[in-house]
Amino acid sequence: MKSIRIIAKLILLFSVGGFLLIYLFAVRNNDTRMVAGYKYEYSDYKRRLTVDDFQQFGYETIYSEVVETVGEENGEIGENYFYPYYELCDGTYVIIYFNYWGGSIAGISVADKKEILYSLLPRKVPCKNEEERERELLCAKQYEMNIIMELLGMEKWEKPEVLGNLDDPMGAYSEETLKRYTDMDLYIEIDYKFEDYEDSNDEPLFQSIIIYSNFPHQLVC
């Protein structure tokens, strides 16, 4: 978020008596605005922007090029990401999603005070490399048994002492491991996939666990 900015212009005027220093201050007003249902800090600029001003930007456009074309943003959305927003003359807002501060554009949306209205440039989520994917998969698989136990409603079970605290991962699913906790005849189907997601700034990992009883006759959860 940006605080009040003061632009100072120093003018040196030469006179018979020497140099006279005159400071002129121009203050940019700060306020707040509701953008897509949330309140954000707002800095006012005397300009009239329309959606057409932003249609020229693409995935290769970087932040400095946006500023050179339409000026600085009225504010920023969020804390962990760099999503500046611009106020349009019709009362709506353009939100630009940058991959990182100063970097290229990942997407552009148009919003009003309550919600996102439509996408001007669809969000382009950066793909993770193989090392990042393998690391996330390994971590997720360590909690497969934890999730299965929770889905079965088995909140009270005795875990091997080696696992320590209840929050410790119980490990990947196996039929042998599951039979240590239940005599139910179950079939577990587990799937993983990386997909794009509108509200994410990264490629998220989706985990799907389906439990069947006397497979394939009855779905448990």
Q: Please check whether residues 153 and 185 belong to one and the same domain.
A: yes
pLDDT at site 216: 59
Q: Please check whether residues 134 and 87 belong to one and the same domain.
A: no
pLDDT band at 18 (very low <50, low <70, confident <90, very high): very low
Q: Please check whether residues 37 and 67 belong to one and the same domain.
A: yes
Instruction: Tell me the per-residue pLDDT of 98-151, one tens digit each, with 9 for 90 and over.
Output: 988 889 999 999 999 999 999 999 987 666 778 878 888 888 888 888 888 888
Q: Please check whether residues 147 and 110 belong to one and the same domain.
A: no
Q: Give residue 66's domain range.
A: 30-121
Averaged pLDDT, 60-84: 93
Averaged pLDDT, 186-197: 80
Q: Please check whether residues 153 and 76 belong to one and the same domain.
A: no
* pLDDT of 72 over the 90 cut: yes
Averaged pLDDT, 158-183: 71
Q: What is the DSSP string of 11-50?
A: EEEEETTEEEEEEEEEEPPEEEEEETTEEEEEE--S----
How many structural domains compose the chain? 2
Distance CA 27, CA 152 (A): 61
Last residue of a domain, one of 121, 148, 173: 121
Q: Please check whether residues 86 and 42 belong to one and the same domain.
A: yes
* pLDDT of 20 over the 90 cut: no
* pLDDT of 93 over the 90 cut: yes
Q: Please check whether residues 54 and 136 belong to one and the same domain.
A: no
In a domain, 17, yes or no: no
pLDDT at site 126: 65
Distance CA 179, CA 13 (A): 89
Q: Please check whether residues 37 and 96 belong to one and the same domain.
A: yes
In a domain, 16, yes or no: no
pLDDT at site 152: 84
Q: Please check whether residues 184 and 145 belong to one and the same domain.
A: yes
pTM: 0.52
Among 50-59, 89-98, 157-166, 180-189, the minimum mean pLDDT is found in 157-166
Bond preceding residue 216 cis, omega within 30 of 0: yes
Among 15-24, 37-46, 61-70, the minimum mean pLDDT is found in 15-24
In a domain, 42, yes or no: yes
Among 51-65, 141-155, 175-189, 190-204, the minimum mean pLDDT is found in 190-204
pLDDT at site 90: 96
Last residue of a domain, one of 93, 121, 149: 121
Q: Please check whether residues 99 and 136 belong to one and the same domain.
A: no
Q: What percent of the chain has pLDDT over 70?
A: 71
In a domain, 19, yes or no: no
Burial of 26 (0-12, 13-18, 19+ CB in 10 A): exposed
Last residue of a domain, one of 121, 141, 163: 121
* pLDDT of 166 over the 90 cut: no
Q: Please check whether residues 103 and 148 belong to one and the same domain.
A: no
